[in-house]
Structure 1
Amino acid sequence: MLGLGSAGAKSSKPSFVSYVTPEEIKLEKEPPKKEIHPNLLPGEVVFCCANPILKYTQDDLSQRGVFGTLFCTNFRITFIIDEASQEETAKNFKNKLYGENDIPLMCVDHIYGVYDEKRKLITGGLLKNKCPSKIIIHCKDLRVLQFCLTFTKEEDAKRIFQGIAHHCLEEKSLKCVFAFSYVGSTSQDMQRKWETILFDSPGDWTQEMKRTKAKCRLVTENENFELSQRLPKYFVIPRAIEDLFSNQGKGLPIWCWSHHSGCALFKASFLPVTQEDGDFQKHLEIMINSVAHNYLYSVKTEDLSESLPSIQDIQQSYNKFKQYFLIDNSTDFWLLDVKWFSSLESSGWLDFIRQCLQKAVEVVECLEKDNTNVLLTEGEGTDLCCVISSLAQIMLDPYYRTVMGFQSLVQKEWVAGCHAFMDRCNHLHQKDKECQSPVFLLFLECVWQLAQQHSPAFQFSETYLTVLSDSVHVPIFSTFMFNSAYHMESVMKAETPTAQSGSLSFPTVWDWSVQYDNKAQNFFLNPLYTEKVKIERTVRKPHKPKHQRQLSLPSSAFKTPPKKGFFKDETESLKKMLRVNRISRWMGSPDSPVAASQEFYESWQQRPLDYHGLLLPCLDGPALRLWMQRYLRWIPEVHILGGGSVAVMTKIMELLGQVQDLKRMLEHRDSSQAAKLDHRPQLQHRPISFGSSGRISSSFPFTYSRNRSFRPIIPTGLLQSLMLTDNIANQEDEVVEEVSLV
């Protein structure tokens, strides 16, 4: 209300009258903030939180970002944006356990603090220093998240910083892992997935022996781990072995797989070094003789610790390799882009992949071409033995190229094979990192190379392999948490509050419904996979081979002579075995195996390709590629809107959908089959709807297209060497408009 003075003169007193109290004005201008709480999982507890926290976007040095609240729980570090975004809800490939702004505690690799614009690696000894202005978190899945603490109260910033550093970097006991809290609070029924063979019962091993026609002996004496704590409860050995309890099970040839010709693949650990040379040689001869007597074939042994890199070399190589993908901002990316390929090559990671594939080809050649038993040896027999034996089985047996077969293979060779996942992945943040090594990731890398070269032969997609590599660091599943079967059983019985009522039953990683819904699981299937066509034979042939598993293509060069028994020249082989104990090794010269394997590969390449037969990788330089989906999915600078493999897959999906529609039309033309079609189950490989390829980026389905505009920052020296003008560096890329996903 305005009051006017007499005669229109200006009044010396304020003429504005307010009918609203100052308290009401303050309430209208600053409405009460709604408390933000994360959606907690069963058993998840919040340790500390801070607000407001600025989360930087990974684009440039402008330090742009979004404000929100940062939480630290017993499961993850989670950041909740103040302004709700519709992008997260629009995703059709969403993890139920953690989101884009969540980091499981086991997934944290390194934490850096920024003090006076200088980045320092955070360790336990630096917690007493002042609180940094910025926290940079490097994740094991190669994400980089940056949080600014300058807008937060000093007390809250110090609390969240110390809480994150303590729970992510300090050593912890296994009972403090979130899986124990989760399984103790969840009410979901942990039912066994019978499709995936877990190899935790005698029936599982008997089923596998029957499938591969193995002539071995199932060992059940270690059911209570009286024989050895480093061996599974149940395993298979040659029948000729009688003394199991010597050396606590060390040096036993553990059966892995049997070839349809009769030879087999075995693996064994080293004998104790305290034994004398005579006893060591005697035991080795007994083990090899047992394998030879069992299959009437010669035996080749291979010490993988001499022919392949050590676990320490693998760890050092991967540490160098992953640094080129942990990018803080676009400036660092363009600086690294100048020497990108030479840096990747100098790390040696790709060369280690090539060496593992090469050694697996040598094993396949012995089994397929030479009809020779192979015995792989290593220190504990649980690292590189698992890598090579698994790769050889994938190359030879098409069953292991299916989803269920591959999962069963991981269970047999890695989980039941007592691979030390807890030590190799450093789940408990131990200060002594000599045991840490990404051996399982090295295996997945080799499988990805095979799947890229022979895509129609694999039922699972590269997205499946990427998700599987991420799931190793999710502290909920028992699959990748323990060092052995004994370790898992003892911990679950002794360190859980329900030990008196029985051991806990953790979910396995193969229960994908815990992480993804059915729509998201469709991305795990390879649409290019060609199932084996069953040919109905109306005319009965007079002769059928004894074994019907056709795991490899026949070759005239490798066929057994006519009018012989099932074994290749078994009489001569038996005579040689009885005359002299054959203990063969691959030649020490590095050129000999490579040359022989190259000849074997060329002879295989000349035959018609059968995706359900023998598969060999091409080991030439250009054939080995970078796993771009896993390593480049979080770097926006390399994303291609509507391009990359997604664009190719979208077109293939469209063609596949058209082919299936035509098949349905042809089937419906026959009225007699119309009733049957109504009750026919749906196709297992339904085309996945990606939408228009122009709406998604090459990093799909892990990241989506965003509205970004950046200017490539190229060093001046490079511009001068290329004699480029400044106009190119000053030109700004066109802004890409974000298109909402349907």
Structure 2
Amino acid sequence: MTEYPRLIQKTGITQSPWALWASVNSSYKLSPSYPSVLVGPASLDETKPEALSVIRQCSTFRSGQRLPSMTWCGTGGSSIWRSSQPKVGLQGNRSPADELYIRHIIESARGANAMRCGLKILDLRPKSSALANRTGGYGYENTSNYSNTTLQFCNIQNIHGVRDSYQKLCNVCSSRSASDVQWNSLIEDTRWLSHIRTILAASWETAYWVHVWRIPVLVHCSHGWDRTSQAACLAQLFLDPYYRTQHGFGVLVEKDFMSFGHPFHLRCAHGEGRSDVKNNSKSSSIDEGQISPIFLQFLDCVYQLVQLYPNAFEFNTQYLLILSFHVYSCRFGNMLCDTEREREIMASIRQRTYSIWDYLESKSECLNQSYLKSEGVMLMPLPTVLRNVKLWKERHLKFTPKPSTMIGPSLPSNVNGSN
């Protein structure tokens, strides 16, 4: 993957603290839902048996074998890592290999930045959810076992809460009886915008610790492929102007959603029928409880940033709107299947289908005419970000039965008394 060498080179460090691991997950033998190429601390050489043993044992201690892997790095040891939850359980299980692996990340970052040390863990779930997962053998890190780490919960709801909220939003937006006098209250009551704010807050927090404190940040949820992909991507949009270009945004989504195993087929039910409630029959092999608009929710968050920073993005909201529909169209191969491994198994699906990114880049109406190329980080105060969140009308009101957008002049031409 060419993106990781670009990131490592961008740090300007002659001897990078991070290393490209090309063999540890080749053929997806370590983690079937991870990309074949991973990035880890350079102090763990994947070709040496001792280091390889640490990597494998760390992977075993994480749900789905999704060990911490670097997805972005900046100067001075700052970096973003992603993983799944640890297998702590009710007994408070420990893994010396997992603890050692985290120490390697901290020591590598410390070597690149002598002023800072430590690692921030952002558990994207509500603490109550993380605690409940201990009954299933999982949970969250006990920072007393991980030296120089701090833990923070971010309260992002799971796929079920998102699905329920989106269904309520759809009902309000498509209702003919909804009271327009209480429109804003009805929208807020769906909690869709509240979920958007929570995700943006966690992403901002990630970018803040990376940019201001120059330390590595580990983000994870339960499986590490829904909320983790959202927060990791959005944090990188705050930090890296390359990802705010058309080409860079495609690279970002390919890296943190496609390659890191966001289950598009499972969440979007591609090509599947739906349950026939009337006849109590089911034409789908998908568990409908697993369907959830996670990627659409991510695009909604990006929409909020595009509105907030109108000159910072090379693409516009039309770009996001088209992408939001084609994630469900099955027209392009990028978003088919659940993992990189599945796309490889299906006889190189990328070579037999069109790319959504080529399609979007060919459409001139997707370009932001007011785009100003910048090398800056976008980190305005968090309250400013959250207080400007609004309904994405072009998407959510596209099929509303009531008129919701102004057409033509808002006032008659003779408003000033002219004849």
Alignment equivalent of 2:340, drawn from 481, 485, 502: 485
CA distance in 1, matches of 2:39, 2:356: 25
Once the two structures are TM-superposed, the CA of residue 421 in structure 1 deviates from its matched residue by 0.7
Once the two structures are TM-superposed, the CA of residue 469 in structure 1 deviates from its matched residue by 0.4
Q: After superposing the two structures, state which structure 1 stretch, 268-277 or 391-400, moved more.
A: 268-277
One-letter code aligned to 2:221 = E
User: Counterparts in 2 of 1:581-730, with a 5 A limit?
Assistant: 614=379, 618-619=383-384, 622-635=387-400, 637-642=403-408
Once the two structures are TM-superposed, the CA of residue 506 in structure 1 deviates from its matched residue by 2.1
Contact 2:11–2:76 (CA<8 Å) still a contact in 1? no
> 1:659-717, CA deviations, whole angstroms, 9 ceiling, x for partnerless residues?
xxxxxxxxxxxxxxxxxxxxxxxxxxxxxxxxxxx9xxxxxxxxxxxxxxxxxxxxxxx
Is residue 424 of structure 1 aligned with residue 230 of structure 2?
A: no
One-letter code aligned to 1:527 = Q
One-letter code aligned to 1:411 = E
Once the two structures are TM-superposed, the CA of residue 283 in structure 1 deviates from its matched residue by 3.8
> 1:632-665, CA deviations, whole angstroms, 9 ceiling, x for partnerless residues?
2334622322259xxxxxxxxxxxxxxxxxxxxx
User: Counterparts in 2 of 1:227-626, with a 5 A limit?
Assistant: 227-241=30-44, 242=51, 243-246=54-57, 247-248=59-60, 250-272=65-87, 277-280=92-95, 282-296=96-110, 297-306=117-126, 307-327=155-175, 332=176, 335-427=178-270, 428-429=272-273, 430=284, 432-492=287-347, 505-512=352-359, 518=362, 521-532=363-374, 551-552=376-377, 614=379, 618-619=383-384, 622-626=387-391
Which residue pairs with 2:20 in the alignment? 218
CA distance in 2, matches of 1:370, 1:476: 43
Once the two structures are TM-superposed, the CA of residue 276 in structure 1 deviates from its matched residue by 6.4
Q: Secondary structure at the match of 1:456?
A: coil
CA distance in 1, matches of 2:190, 2:43: 45
Change over 3 Å in CA distance of 1:276–1:287 after alignment to 2: farther
Once the two structures are TM-superposed, the CA of residue 504 in structure 1 deviates from its matched residue by 5.2
Once the two structures are TM-superposed, the CA of residue 245 in structure 1 deviates from its matched residue by 2.5
Once the two structures are TM-superposed, the CA of residue 285 in structure 1 deviates from its matched residue by 1.7
Change over 3 Å in CA distance of 1:361–1:458 after alignment to 2: same
CA distance in 1, matches of 2:235, 2:4: 19
Task: Name the structure where helix makes up a greater proportion of residues.
Answer: 2
Change over 3 Å in CA distance of 1:504–1:393 after alignment to 2: closer
CA distance in 1, matches of 2:252, 2:242: 9
Contact 1:395–1:615 (CA<8 Å) still a contact in 2? no
**TM-score, normalising length: structure 2:** 0.76
Change over 3 Å in CA distance of 1:615–1:507 after alignment to 2: farther
Change over 3 Å in CA distance of 1:293–1:643 after alignment to 2: farther
Unaligned segments of structure 2, at least 5 residues: 45-50, 111-116, 127-154, 274-283, 414-419
Q: Secondary structure at the match of 2:198?
A: helix
Change over 3 Å in CA distance of 1:272–1:508 after alignment to 2: farther
Contact 1:252–1:287 (CA<8 Å) still a contact in 2? no
Once the two structures are TM-superposed, the CA of residue 278 in structure 1 deviates from its matched residue by 4.0
Change over 3 Å in CA distance of 1:256–1:505 after alignment to 2: same
Once the two structures are TM-superposed, the CA of residue 393 in structure 1 deviates from its matched residue by 0.9
CA distance in 2, matches of 1:436, 1:273: 27
CA distance in 2, matches of 1:504, 1:397: 29
> 1:554-609, CA deviations, whole angstroms, 9 ceiling, x for partnerless residues?
xxxxxxxxxxxxxxxxxxxxxxxxxxxxxxxxxxxxxxxxxxxxxxxxxxxxxxxx
CA distance in 2, matches of 1:381, 1:278: 20
User: Counterparts in 2 of 1:13-24, with a 5 A limit?
Assistant: none
Q: Larger RCO: Structure 1 or Structure 2 (Cα < 8 Å, ≥ 6 residues apart)?
A: 2
Kindly tell me the number of residue pairs found equivalent between the two proteins.
Answer: 348
Once the two structures are TM-superposed, the CA of residue 254 in structure 1 deviates from its matched residue by 0.8
CA distance in 1, matches of 2:299, 2:9: 27
One-letter code aligned to 1:324 = V
CA distance in 1, matches of 2:258, 2:371: 27
Q: After superposing the two structures, state which structure 1 stretch, 241-250 or 409-418, moved more.
A: 241-250
Once the two structures are TM-superposed, the CA of residue 525 in structure 1 deviates from its matched residue by 0.6
Q: After superposing the two structures, state which structure 1 stretch, 387-396 or 427-436, moved more.
A: 427-436
Unaligned segments of structure 1, at least 5 residues: 1-200, 497-502, 533-549, 553-612, 645-693, 695-742
CA distance in 2, matches of 1:262, 1:228: 26
CA distance in 1, matches of 2:385, 2:71: 29
Once the two structures are TM-superposed, the CA of residue 434 in structure 1 deviates from its matched residue by 1.9
> 1:268-327, CA deviations, whole angstroms, 9 ceiling, x for partnerless residues?
1123467963434x3442232011011112101121123321111111111111112235
Contact 2:247–2:357 (CA<8 Å) still a contact in 1? no
One-letter code aligned to 1:353 = I
RMSD across aligned positions (CA)? 2.6
Larger radius of gyration: 1
Once the two structures are TM-superposed, the CA of residue 239 in structure 1 deviates from its matched residue by 2.0
Sequence identity (%)? 26
**TM-score, normalising length: structure 1:** 0.44
CA distance in 2, matches of 1:402, 1:616: 23
